[in-house]
Amino acid sequence: MTTLLIVEDDPLILRMYQQAFEFSKHKTFVADNGEDGLAKAKAEKPDVILLDIMMPNMNGLEVLKKLKLDPDTKKIPVVMLTNLGRDKDIKTALSLGAVKYITKVDNTPKEVVKQVEQIIDATTRDRIPE
Domains in the chain, CATH or no CATH each: 3-109 (3.40.50.2300)
Q: What's this model's pTM, rounded to 2 decimal places?
A: 0.91
pLDDT of residue 1: 81
pLDDT of residue 130: 43
pLDDT of residue 129: 45
Q: Please state, for a pLDDT cut of 90, what percent of the chain lies above it.
A: 85
**CA dist., res. 88 & res. 117, Å (int):** 26
pLDDT of 127 over the 60 cut: no
Amino acid in the structure at residue 33: N
Q: Please state, for a pLDDT cut of 70, what percent of the chain lies above it.
A: 95
Q: How confident is the model at residue 128 (pLDDT cuts 50, 70, 90)?
A: very low
For 45, residues 6+ apart whose C-beta sits below 8 A from its C-beta are 3, 72, 73, 76
Q: What angle do CA 38, 44, 45 make, to 5 degrees?
A: 80
**CA dist., res. 33 & res. 41, Å (int):** 12
pLDDT of 125 over the 60 cut: no
